[in-house]
């Protein structure tokens, strides 16, 4: 059965304190791994898609990496506006299977 | 582009009542998904349409749930009769093809009392 596990469940950082979020997955035939950001009261917002091990993508303070078993979302020098829930999803077929997310709080 | 539009944003209803949630996907997208989000279970896929045809409804919890897509620009998710355990946020998402990330709507927060 396809599974996506995200850790930690919650993370509190000081502004400027870099860290990484983890997404471990087991899936038969990965078509893609996705990262989304979700703000309270809103729908998930697409960040990145990674397709093969070794691939990396960056956007502002965020960098996503992928191995055969896990993906990391690295946050460099975060700001309070980066506070949100970050969701990881795998696509074995047509649908996305989501993890439960990491709730990130960045304090000034 | 206005994105994926869902209505209503909030719905409070009494147990046993019929509830209809609505979704307008992004123009040109040929795949549409309904998801349900709860604290306990996270985001769960309910049903997937491709070119207006239901492809996989295995995530629909029970016969009380039904979904339709009469045309490329409109879909509904209906719960009849509703129960308190149906309380959740329901999201609609659309994509251009099944190989790309989805665009989500803002969701409908359903509360059944």
pLDDT for position B96 = 85
For residue A79, the distance in angstroms to the closest alpha carbon of chain B comes to 24
Instruction: Pick the residue of B1, B5, B10, B42 with the most A CBs within 10 A to test the interface with A by mutation.
Output: B42
Per run of 10 residues, the mean pLDDT along chain A (length 108 residues) is: 91 98 91 94 94 94 95 97 97 87 97
Q: What are the residues of chain B with a beta carbon less than 8 Å away from any beta carbon of chain A?
A: 4, 31, 33, 42-43, 45, 48, 50, 55-56, 91, 93, 98-107
Averaged pLDDT, B72-83: 97
Is A44 in contact with B43 (Cβ distance < 8 A)? Answer: yes
Distance CA A69, CA A51 (A): 12
Is B4 in contact with A31 (Cβ distance < 8 A)? Answer: no
pLDDT for position B101 = 76
A3-7, strands of its sheet edge to edge: A3-7, A19-26, A70-75, A62-66, A56-59
Averaged pLDDT, B88-97: 93
Averaged pLDDT, B32-59: 94
B100 or B93: which carries more pLDDT confidence? B93
Tell whether the model's pLDDT for residue B84 goes beyond 70. Answer: yes
Map residue B85 onto helix, strand or coil.
Answer: helix
pLDDT for position B61 = 87
Is B103 in contact with A42 (Cβ distance < 8 A)? Answer: no
Both tokens of B73, joined, read 């620009």
* One-character DSSP codes across A5-25: EEE-SEEEEETT--EEEEEEE
Is A96 in contact with B50 (Cβ distance < 8 A)? Answer: no
List of chain A residues whose C-beta atoms are within 8 Å of the C-beta of residue B102: 46, 96
Region for B41 from its dihedrals, namely left if φ exceeds 0, alpha if ψ lies in -120 to 50, beta otherwise: alpha
Is A94 in contact with B48 (Cβ distance < 8 A)? Answer: yes
A84 close to B (CB below 8 A): no
List of chain B residues whose C-beta atoms are within 8 Å of the C-beta of residue A43: 4, 91, 93, 104-107
pLDDT for position B49 = 95
Least CA distance to A32: which residue of chain B? B99
């Amino acid at each position: 059965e396809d599974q996506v596990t995200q850790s930690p469940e919650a993370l509190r950082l000081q502004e400027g304190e870099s860290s990484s979020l983890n997404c471990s997955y087991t899936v038969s035939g990965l078509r893609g791994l996705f990262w989304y950001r979700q703000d309270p009261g809103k729908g998930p917002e697409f960040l990145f898609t990674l397709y093969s091990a070794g691939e990396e993508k960056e956007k502002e303070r965020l960098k996503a990496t992928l191995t055969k078993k896990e993906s990391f979302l690295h946050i460099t020098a975060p700001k309070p506006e980066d506070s949100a829930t970050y969701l990881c999803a795998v696509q074995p077929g047509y649908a996305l299977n989501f993890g439960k997310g990491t709730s990130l709080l960045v304090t000034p | 582009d206005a994105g994926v539009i869902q209505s209503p944003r909030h719905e409070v209803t009494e147990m046993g009542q019929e509830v209809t949630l609505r979704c307008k996907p992004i123009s040109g997208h040929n795949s549409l998904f309904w998801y349900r989000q709860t604290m306990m279970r996270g985001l769960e896929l309910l049903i997937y349409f491709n070119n207006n045809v239901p492809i996989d409804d295995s995530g629909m919890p029970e016969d009380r749930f039904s979904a339709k897509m009469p045309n490329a620009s409109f879909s509904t998710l209906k719960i009849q009769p509703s129960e308190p355990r149906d309380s959740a946020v329901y999201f609609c998402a659309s994509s251009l093809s099944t190989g790309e990330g989805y665009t989500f709507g803002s969701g409908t927060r359903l509360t059944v009392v």
